[in-house]
Amino acid sequence: MVSSIFLISSAVSLAAAAPHLGHGFSKAFPVSNSATCSGITYINRGLVAYGTVAADARDKFGDTLGGFGSAAAPDVSSFTWTKNGTVKGTLFATPDRGWNTEGSIDYQARVHKFELSFNPTFDSIANATENLALNYQDTTLLFKGDQPTTGLDADYTIPASNDFPVLPAGKTSGNGTVPTLDQEGLVLLRDGSYWISDEYGPYIYHFTREGQMTVAIRPPQSLVPYTDGELAFTSGNPPVGSGLDEADDPDSGRATNHGFEGLAISTDERFLTAQLQEAAVQDGGTHATRQNNTRQLTYDVTIRDHPRLVSEYIVQQPGIFDPQEKKNPRATSISDIHYLSPHQFFTMTRDSGEYINFGSNTPSTYRHIDIVSHRDATNILDQEGPAAISIAPDGYLLPNLVVEDYCPFIDFNNATDLARFNLHNGGLPYATELNEKWESIAIIPVPYGAKGHGEKEFYIVSISDNDFITQDGYYDFGRKRYADASGEEVSTQVLVWQAHLPNYVPRV
Ligand SMILES: *[C@@H]1O[C@H](CO)[C@@H](O)[C@H](O)[C@H]1NC(C)=O
Ligand SMILES: *[C@@H]1O[C@H](CO)[C@@H](O)[C@H](O)[C@H]1NC(C)=O
Ligand SMILES: *[C@@H]1O[C@H](CO)[C@@H](O)[C@H](O)[C@H]1NC(C)=O
Ligand SMILES: *[C@@H]1O[C@H](CO)[C@@H](O)[C@H](O)[C@H]1NC(C)=O
Ligand SMILES: *[C@@H]1O[C@H](CO)[C@@H](O)[C@H](O)[C@H]1NC(C)=O
């Protein structure tokens, strides 16, 4: 087993093919696969850790921890290595809007703090064991002034005031009409504060480390949802019993539930980049086979309360063939992004619907961490104006627009890798089936002294989003109980790969 993984010969041939990799590369770590993107060769060394968090785990307020894999950010400086092989440090993660499979609920947005620890291995782990633990530590609730935020559907707005744009809002029973967030992206800054992206706006918010909103970024008109000429932030998921309509997709702007899934910050904390999950409505965003031209926006946030939009590029998502669908190929969507260099990013790209809750044992076709580069792409920012613009009418990209380079890299569905951790893609048994939704990317340098330590070696952590599915769930600060109608208990899964990323400069 070991000899087939530690392929000295393949390391030598790769080094020969990519001489710029340098001496650090000559270490005989395993090679699962590699990708060359804009002249840089990245190496995946395979899965090194796996662990789970119970579906019914709760936070310090008594609420179900739930879908905190929506977004994760490590405190890189906290990671250490102990002689027994354990890599350990702090990771922050944010759940989306709370349990929402049966209508949206009044769930205050929050950021959880965990201690992540794992014993990385290039070998197989023993059957039914885990070599990773994510231990809950603390939670920070998010507020704007003295108003708590909520996760209720954005059926209301709060008018613009004091440097804040008009805000998507939900009507709570006890605290009035308050800002609502459906968080999907999290960035941790050196001062301990956060940028958080959301799906309702789709907006990007800055919160202090104590959880106070200080900035809200409203994107160009092309991305903000409009219906019949009016702002329409709703996601079509009103609370049960509210009497509100389940609204359709807007006429233009982000499609329902397809907001800023990806958020990333450059190492120098100057550039903040957000990406739409799929195409905007006017770019084919309501057609499963034509929603593949998505947008990536970058703000210069040097002056935090005066963010300046500096670029907008198009990423064309890979199409996949789904044997269960009549029309193919289907567009994949993104669930997170991460900076690698000033013009290169990791993107978490995947299909959806392959999941025990859909009553389907169909394996997933595409679940990757890929690499995109906007070095040679067209910056469409100058075309933005007072009204929404389309760059792909009905889903067909306009001529003369160059999209970002797209390079496939890490495959979650690699059966050999999964089997080493007793996991599988699709089918039975459910307990060891890989979860459907993977929505976060965190990068941690391999600590000095740890197994696998070398020049430009990194751990890549991803956490699944379980949609708060449990039979013993709680919300409203532990006062209300729920049992998800699916009858399922979906634990959160965590995966870690090791990779050689030659041009990534981590934050210190
Ligand atoms: C899958 O993973 C195994 C083990 O890491 C590796 O040897 C193999 O090359 C991978 N396959 C692909 C197609 O990446
Ligand atoms: C390794 O040591 C750390 C503390 O130094 C401890 O928390 C962890 O459980 C140990 N791991 C193993 C596998 O013994
Ligand atoms: C792992 O454990 C399961 C459940 O006990 C068993 O069915 C399976 O055969 C085991 N696999 C291996 C490779 O030992
Ligand atoms: C109002 O918000 C506060 C702060 O989160 C919370 O403690 C309280 O329970 C809420 N009140 C009601 C009636 O929901
Ligand atoms: C993606 O976009 C291109 C160009 O706009 C189009 O030809 C293709 O069919 C689209 N769909 C998929 C799923 O790839």
Structure tokens at 451: 């197994």
Residue to mutate, 291, 334, 396, 398, ligand 5, most ligand atoms under 8 Å from C-beta? 396
Backbone angles phi, psi at 429, to 5 degrees: -80, 150
- Average pLDDT (319-344) is 92
Query: Which pLDDT score is estimated for 360?
Result: 55
Residues 6+ apart with CB under 8 A from 19: none
Residues 6+ apart with CB under 8 A from 423: 50, 432, 433, 434
Reply yes or no on whether the pLDDT at 440 is more than 80.
yes
Q: Are 347 and 275 in contact (CB under 8 A)?
A: yes
Q: Is 140 in the pocket of ligand 4 (CB under 6 A)?
A: no
Average pLDDT over the chain reads 92
Taking the CA of 45 as reference, the closest ligand is 1
Reply yes or no on whether the pLDDT at 42 is more than 50.
yes
Taking the CA of 395 as reference, the closest ligand is 5
Reply yes or no on whether the pLDDT at 23 is more than 70.
no
**122 three-class SS:** coil
Q: How far is the CA of 290 from the centre of ligand 5 (A)?
A: 6
Query: Which pLDDT score is estimated for 192?
Result: 97
Reply yes or no on whether the pLDDT at 392 is more than 50.
yes
Query: Which pLDDT score is estimated for 357?
Result: 47
pLDDT band, very low/low/confident/very high, at 207 (cuts 50, 70, 90): very high
In whole angstroms, give the CA distance from residue 421 to residue 125.
6
Tell me which residues have their CB closer than 6 angstroms to ligand 2: 82, 84, 86, 119
Q: Is 19 in the pocket of ligand 4 (CB under 6 A)?
A: no
Nearest CA to ligand 4 atom 3: 148
- Average pLDDT (306-331) is 93
- The domains of the chain are located at 33-500
Q: Tell me: the pLDDT tens digits for 162-183?
A: 899 999 999 999 999 999 999 9
